[in-house]
Amino acid sequence: MSALKITKANFEQEVMQSGKPVLLDFWASWCGPCKMVGPTVEEVSEETADQAKVGKVNVEDESELARKFRVMSIPTFILFKNGKVVKKAVGVQSKEDMMGMIQES
């Protein structure tokens, strides 16, 4: 399963009401580091599908969500568990770092 496209419309259902931890990648199409880490985000999504959800939030389309979670630079990764932010990492993250965020939750 590839990373979910998270929008204001599906945020409540996909993230806040999720029974699994949710790792969100806040990104933009013009962001070089975001493009670089994109395939890794997809890999993590595939490999953790049974234990977590992975989603992508385009900060240009979803500026309200970016503001709500104080995303100042991208890429930013935020891990939600039971509707609460439990971890945040700014900048390019390795596959191991992303997997670690999910497994530590």
Active-site residue set: 31, 34
What residues are paired with 56 via a beta bridge? 5, 25
User: What letter would DSSP give residue 4?
Assistant: E
Report which DSSP code applies to 14.
Answer: I
Q: Which tokens in the block code for residue 60?
A: 């240009």
- Strand-pair category, 22-27 with 76-81: antiparallel
